[in-house]
Structure 1
Amino acid sequence: MLLRKLGLRAILGLAVINSPSVFGQSVVDASTLTGKFVLGYQAWHACGGDGKTLSGYIHWSHLNRVEPSPSDVVCDIWPDITELPANELFPAAFTNGNGQATSAYSCYLTNTVLRHFRWMRDYGLDGVALQRFTKDVFIDSTWAALKNTNLVNCRLGAETYGRVFFLMYDISNEDPTIVTNHLQSDWAYVAGTLQITNSSRYLKHRGKPLLGIWGLGFNGGLAVTPANAQTIIDYFKGAGCTVLGGVPANWRTLNGDSQTNAGWASVYHSFSVLSPWTVGRYTTDAQADGYKSTITADLADCQANGIDFLPVVFPGYSSHNLSGFTLNGIPRNGGRFFWRQIYNALSAGCPALYGAMFDEIDEGTALYKLSPTSSTTPVAYPTNQYQFFALDVDGYSLPSDWYLRVSTDGTLATHGKPLNEWLPITPTNTITVLSPNGGNFWTSGVPATVTWSTTGLVSYVNIDISTDGGATFRALAYNATNSGSKVVNVPYTASTNCLVRIGSTNGTPVAWSQTNFTIRVSGTNANIDLQQLWSMAPGTNSWLPNDTGNTARGLAYNAASNEVYTINTSIFAVNVLDGTTGTNKPGLQTFGISGGNFILDKIGVADDGIIYAGNVQTSVSSSSPFKLYRWANSNPAIAPVLAYSGLAGFASGLRVGDTLAVRGAGTNTQVLVGARTVSTVCLLTTADGTNFTAHTLNTDATPEQLGSCLAFGLGNCFWATTNGLPIARLNFDPISLVATTAQSFGASVLPPNCGAFAVDPANSLMAAIILTGAADQLNLYDLSATNSGPVLLSSWGIPGLNDNNFGLGAVAFGGNRLYALDTNNGLLAFRVTFPGGPTPLSANRSGTNVWLAWAASARGFYLQQRGSFTNGSTWQSVFDPVSIAGNQFVVTQQVANVAGFYRLEKP
């Protein structure tokens, strides 16, 4: 069993524990393994004087069943025995660090086992897989009596406290010549004489009693042939069982810890449930993360072959006193190592988990109550041959029941409650959601109040909402003061499956609504939302590095060709991606481009599909000009053309080119270019659609306001911000070249820590990257309520966790698509979804002018035209500017005095 019971499986995910009894289920469903968090249970500890016929101590010392002492002990961590009465405690020849005598316990005593199951009930755990070693059962009658008492006690505990249990035979130390006879004989006794499977608490799966067999197929383990192994499995199937196999981690690849004979493949695939043993297969959080790809592949293989998958998770490992291995060889890291495994398995889609183990102190994987400090831990003096550790070994001050608490969250997550990526609880700080906490009704677009309580030190919180039962979350408030109450804007998403999540801004603790509440929709913007197309984490591509180098900066979307363009300032290239799939396409030609401290930085696309990209000059001058290049399309054979070169209306010595915005088509194309530390903006216009002239817009903004991001709004306006300053909307006069601030939105409306953003004028939307202390977020806002300011509609987390304190990157709208590049942290792609069906379009002609109008409440529509009503004529986009008149969108188009046909299309 060495390195078999080195694993423990538990799942973390949801609530913060204030009182363990709050989470106890009265009775756990015993009809299926699916959705369960089961723990391995040894129940093998026994003591001299506990009443059994077999003399001495079991699993406390190495030799001759002697009392554990500084001269002979097998466990590295001691259980917390403070709750046990004197009649359940037995001598151990140790003194604790506090000078008190050390005691041991025995699972031969019914009351001790019942206490273990009461803990499972109190902490909301589902139940156990009781380990039964057939070799021990058949040593002699005294051993058989001990093991049978363990089994009967387990059954009584499960029945008393409403938990589930099932039997798992461990045959790893068996004699291969008689293992089959031992199994068949013992099962006849267990299922026949004891009728253990008739218990209402015995776990069924696929309509039959679940029976585990641990130890087949291990390299260096039980030496049976594939044919012998198949005989064992077939016997239990014939006996009416659903058979679970505890198998090697490399069962699928037949290498490493697995037998390599090809015949084992069919043996493994004959199990109804597979549970690969992963204890010791990885030792750090990073290695556990790397193992997730194996879990994913194992799960896919099982699903393809009609097998259920039960991965193993464990809190840590230490078998120094048992086997001479390193003390605390696989550190628990305060529960974080355990949590990474739980998160990885559940996020990969695994339907259940196995925790190794509830009570195995021999190899340091126990999850029950453990000695928290050295003062309650035995001292190995005077021999110092053996060593111990306590729960605080890794520098965390933890209560003795800490891993039961973590297992509570794991159980809730396995049951389908929200799964947090990071350990959601702390030993001393807690958060409890008070409202909404189930049964509440919110109305979209109407402010609502979230309330909560905390204990310990929680200074600031993030408040998120899920409208899909916890599968995804979006931000409601970031870095809110821990006042216990916060008014938030309710998103425009109708759902009866809503949850609120409140978490400390430093990651833990985290708490959720205990049950779902409802959002009712109202207004014209109901259900405007984001549907994710794809995402790229940092490190996915060379131009999207996983670092803090601040090099991935440029992003644009071309709706005409459905292409995304990106620029990394350290790579002289323009990358092209398919807008729908994110797959790479041939890049733009860059031959002939020169100049700039960054040769290319920002990129934009005009409404007619023309592509523009500019450099950055850190000290612009006539000899070091800002340059703007133009591509007619993305054909790799098309060379770029210099569209502008000069000071862009700025004084020499300024940094120019960090901001770029493009709109219009043909001779109506306009480009905004910004500079650092000045209150002016460059407006580039063109008379021929190819060459541009610079005009200086004088603004009333502060010098820093215009340096990080610019975006055109509807009509003659633009939006601007610098990280840390409010986003502002400015109206400009293209004749007088004066821009004045129309609105500025403080922290009560928009987070001040805003990075890159973009505006979709036609649909009155804005998207902004919100920089946080953890994962940054992309927020979608409704701009239609011009008086009250932006209203949050949707929020998504960005993949990376790197620093982007300069607020670099870019956001791009187009054709009901949205793309967001958060420098150092990844790229997200979405389809923007709008409610409603077709909307009426009116058209009126006066000479060569055509006026087209439709309701401003109709979002997501784009105007198209063609010259013939027949199907043979192709619909073309209308690039003329859109304005608002009253409650209508209006386009004025100059056309020849011929027939024309128009329509509104929703991509």
Structure 2
Amino acid sequence: MKKFGPLLTAHCLVLGSLSANAQVTLNPLTSWGNNGWLAPGGADHYVTTGTTERGLAYGNGHVYLVSRANVGGNAINIRIMDPNTGADLGGLATSGISGGTFAVNAAGVGGDGTIYVCNVTSADSSANPFKVYSWATESATPTVAYSSGTLLSNGRIGDALAANGSGASTTLVVGISNANPSAPFKGYGIVNPPANTGTAVTVSAANTTDFRLSLSFTDSSHVIGTEMDSGTPYYRYTSFSGSSGTLIASPTIPDPGNKKADRLLSYTVIGGRAILAVANTVDSHVSIYDVTDPINPVWLASQTNTFGSLAVNMNWTGAVAWGPSHDNGDGTSLADLYTLSTSQGIQAFVVTVPEPGVLTISGLGIGLLGVCRGRRRMKLDGPCCTGRTDSAPQTQGAG
């Protein structure tokens, strides 16, 4: 029997630890709903199989759901949800909210905790303006943070919303489209709620539907959006300054699964690593990508917590929301991920990511790891943090 010396054993122990940390995992947050899925049409009357839930956001230690379900005679709802279980904790005040094709639709939260919810107007005008409401705290009454009938005259505005920055530096990006074939709009809207100003940003090299249904900031001057309907889906990576937008790249989304309906997305940074989550609006599977180089996304993992037959998300709507990133103290960081596909409920995941340096060191030791694994079986997964249970089933790519 071949024996290993103490030096090699020590190397195996070190590299084994690095190998364990080098796996990017996408696991169900099992305490949320039923094993990570809050199915529609159940005990939560605000999560339906209809088309009334399209907005989701995370902030202030809670998940916020925008629902137009008529519950007790009220069809304007922004619900506060427990981030671990999905339990309904009550709702934000909605007095004074009115107007629009949909009075409420999408949500975002600023870095200072201010909550923003927008309406949808299908024909932006002084009579039917696009509006953004804000709540300074969960106990506050809403105020009109932005209202304008001229962001894009007669355009459809508000199908998607994302927030960036805080305080006076808060900016929102909103989905815009129009039905004017002679002058189609290609781009998105940038709103500064503290200043009550908005600008339609034109990205002339894009298509008219590239930014309507899902948007995300990557920083204060870059926005990504998914192409609305394509056999080979891609996302648009853009920069903007004032009303001018530049299409930097249109990378294909490298989803090994049913990629055609990959339409909902959100960007975050976990442990110093840029991560993009993309949700599918047909089978509700979710994939995560390394977008350290946003022009060349790398698939990391895919997962769905749903089961059985799903209602059809006929409008391809929904939202993706990230919780904050936490350092586990072992060379990995994690963040909770929440996805809403309209009519298909809300899923919750735990994404665990090794720090970039851990990956580099682990890569250097790959040959020695092969020897080490011949000696003993490595344990790759374990509890992510106290009081949390994250189950193992997943499809996983190279970290």
SS in 1 for 2:312: coil
Letter in 1 for 2:323: G
Q: Does the 8 A contact of 2:254 with 2:297 survive in 1? A: no
* 1:426-445 pair list within 5 angstroms: none
Match for residue 818 of structure 1?
A: 337
Letter in 2 for 1:627: K
Match for residue 188 of structure 2?
A: 681
CA distance in 2, matches of 1:612, 1:806: 23
Pair 1:567 & 2:56 matched: no
Pair 1:554 & 2:52 matched: no
CA distance in 1, matches of 2:218, 2:253: 21
2:315 to 806, 810, 816: 806
Q: Does the 8 A contact of 1:719 with 1:727 survive in 2? A: no
Match for residue 284 of structure 2?
A: 776
SS in 1 for 2:168: helix
SS in 1 for 2:348: strand
Q: Does the 8 A contact of 1:538 with 1:824 survive in 2? A: yes
Q: Does the 8 A contact of 1:616 with 1:626 survive in 2? A: yes
Instruction: Using the TM superposition, give the Cα deviation of residue 831 of structure 1 relative to its aligned residue in structure 2, in angstroms.
Output: 2.7
Match for residue 607 of structure 1?
A: 111
Instruction: Using the TM superposition, give the Cα deviation of residue 664 of structure 1 relative to its aligned residue in structure 2, in angstroms.
Output: 0.8
Pair 1:764 & 2:277 matched: no
CA distance in 1, matches of 2:150, 2:321: 23
Structure 1 729/714 Cα, relative in aligned 2: closer, same or farther at 3 Å?
farther
Higher relative contact order structure (alpha carbons within 8 Å, sequence separation ≥ 6):
2
CA distance in 2, matches of 1:727, 1:707: 14
Letter in 1 for 2:161: L
Q: Does the 8 A contact of 1:536 with 1:826 survive in 2? A: yes
Letter in 1 for 2:237: L
Q: Does the 8 A contact of 2:281 with 2:313 survive in 1? A: yes
SS in 1 for 2:152: coil
Q: Does the 8 A contact of 1:529 with 1:834 survive in 2? A: no
Instruction: Using the TM superposition, give the Cα deviation of residue 828 of structure 1 relative to its aligned residue in structure 2, in angstroms.
Output: 1.1
Match for residue 428 of structure 1?
A: none
Structure 1 673/788 Cα, relative in aligned 2: closer, same or farther at 3 Å?
closer
Structure 1 581/792 Cα, relative in aligned 2: closer, same or farther at 3 Å?
same
Spell out, residue by residue over 1:397-444, the C-alpha distance to the aligned partner (whole angstroms, 9 max, x if none): xxxxxxxxxxxxxxxxxxxxxxxxxxxxxxxxxxxxxxxxxxxxxxxx
1:711 to 216, 223, 234: 216
* 1:585-596 pair list within 5 angstroms: 585-596=89-100
Instruction: Using the TM superposition, give the Cα deviation of residue 835 of structure 1 relative to its aligned residue in structure 2, in angstroms.
Output: 3.2
* Structure showing greater Rg: 1
Instruction: Using the TM superposition, give the Cα deviation of residue 648 of structure 1 relative to its aligned residue in structure 2, in angstroms.
Output: 5.4
Structure 1 771/597 Cα, relative in aligned 2: closer, same or farther at 3 Å?
closer
Q: Does the 8 A contact of 1:756 with 1:769 survive in 2? A: yes
Match for residue 14 of structure 1?
A: none
Letter in 2 for 1:706: F
CA distance in 1, matches of 2:175, 2:358: 33
Q: Does the 8 A contact of 1:746 with 1:752 survive in 2? A: no
* 1:826-845 pair list within 5 angstroms: 826-835=345-354
Structure 1 522/695 Cα, relative in aligned 2: closer, same or farther at 3 Å?
farther
1:744 to 250, 260, 283: 250
Instruction: Using the TM superposition, give the Cα deviation of residue 713 of structure 1 relative to its aligned residue in structure 2, in angstroms.
Output: 1.1
SS in 2 for 1:718: strand
CA distance in 2, matches of 1:603, 1:615: 9
Match for residue 317 of structure 1?
A: none
Instruction: Using the TM superposition, give the Cα deviation of residue 633 of structure 1 relative to its aligned residue in structure 2, in angstroms.
Output: 1.3
CA distance in 2, matches of 1:787, 1:793: 18
Q: Does the 8 A contact of 2:151 with 2:189 survive in 1? A: yes
Structure 1 598/524 Cα, relative in aligned 2: closer, same or farther at 3 Å?
same
Q: Does the 8 A contact of 2:237 with 2:294 survive in 1? A: no
Structure 1 819/748 Cα, relative in aligned 2: closer, same or farther at 3 Å?
closer
- The gaps in structure 2 that reach 5 residues or longer are 1-16, 70-74, 179-184, 325-334, 360-384, 387-399
Report how many aligned residue pairs link the two structures. Answer: 310
Letter in 2 for 1:728: Y
Shift >6 Å, 4+ stretches: 520-524
Match for residue 644 of structure 1?
A: 146
TM-score by length of 1: 0.32
Instruction: Using the TM superposition, give the Cα deviation of residue 647 of structure 1 relative to its aligned residue in structure 2, in angstroms.
Output: 2.8
Q: Does the 8 A contact of 1:683 with 1:694 survive in 2? A: yes
Instruction: Using the TM superposition, give the Cα deviation of residue 793 of structure 1 relative to its aligned residue in structure 2, in angstroms.
Output: 2.1
CA distance in 2, matches of 1:715, 1:599: 28
Structure 1 857/744 Cα, relative in aligned 2: closer, same or farther at 3 Å?
farther
Q: Does the 8 A contact of 1:676 with 1:703 survive in 2? A: yes
Instruction: Using the TM superposition, give the Cα deviation of residue 760 of structure 1 relative to its aligned residue in structure 2, in angstroms.
Output: 1.0
Letter in 1 for 2:225: A
Structure 1 787/566 Cα, relative in aligned 2: closer, same or farther at 3 Å?
closer
Higher helix share: 1
* 1:182-581 pair list within 5 angstroms: 526-532=23-29, 533-534=31-32, 535-540=37-42, 541-546=44-49, 549-558=50-59, 561-570=60-69, 571-581=75-85
Letter in 2 for 1:718: V
Q: Does the 8 A contact of 1:770 with 1:776 survive in 2? A: yes
Spell out, residue by residue over 1:285-310, the C-alpha distance to the aligned partner (whole angstroms, 9 max, x if none): xxxxxxxxxxxxxxxxxxxxxxxxxx
Percent identity, aligned pairs only, is 28
CA distance in 1, matches of 2:45, 2:133: 24
CA distance in 1, matches of 2:146, 2:167: 15
Instruction: Using the TM superposition, give the Cα deviation of residue 757 of structure 1 relative to its aligned residue in structure 2, in angstroms.
Output: 1.5
Pair 1:665 & 2:178 matched: no
SS in 1 for 2:137: coil
Letter in 2 for 1:764: A
Instruction: Using the TM superposition, give the Cα deviation of residue 715 of structure 1 relative to its aligned residue in structure 2, in angstroms.
Output: 4.6
SS in 2 for 1:802: coil
Q: Does the 8 A contact of 2:240 with 2:246 survive in 1? A: no
Pair 1:633 & 2:132 matched: no
Letter in 2 for 1:765: I
CA distance in 1, matches of 2:123, 2:177: 10
Structure 1 645/538 Cα, relative in aligned 2: closer, same or farther at 3 Å?
same
SS in 1 for 2:338: strand
Match for residue 617 of structure 1?
A: 121
Match for residue 416 of structure 1?
A: none
TM-score by length of 2: 0.71
Q: Does the 8 A contact of 2:100 with 2:119 survive in 1? A: yes
Letter in 2 for 1:661: A
Q: Does the 8 A contact of 2:186 with 2:209 survive in 1? A: yes
CA distance in 2, matches of 1:747, 1:665: 30
CA RMSD of aligned residues (A): 2.7
Q: Does the 8 A contact of 2:125 with 2:149 survive in 1? A: yes
Instruction: Using the TM superposition, give the Cα deviation of residue 832 of structure 1 relative to its aligned residue in structure 2, in angstroms.
Output: 2.3
Instruction: Using the TM superposition, give the Cα deviation of residue 785 of structure 1 relative to its aligned residue in structure 2, in angstroms.
Output: 4.4
Spell out, residue by residue over 1:668-722, the C-alpha distance to the aligned partner (whole angstroms, 9 max, x if none): 1110112224203111125xxx342112211021112121111111352111124
Instruction: Using the TM superposition, give the Cα deviation of residue 749 of structure 1 relative to its aligned residue in structure 2, in angstroms.
Output: 5.2
Letter in 2 for 1:626: F
Q: Does the 8 A contact of 2:235 with 2:253 survive in 1? A: no
Spell out, residue by residue over 1:872-893, the C-alpha distance to the aligned partner (whole angstroms, 9 max, x if none): xxxxxxxxxxxxxxxxxxxxxx
Q: Does the 8 A contact of 1:528 with 1:835 survive in 2? A: no
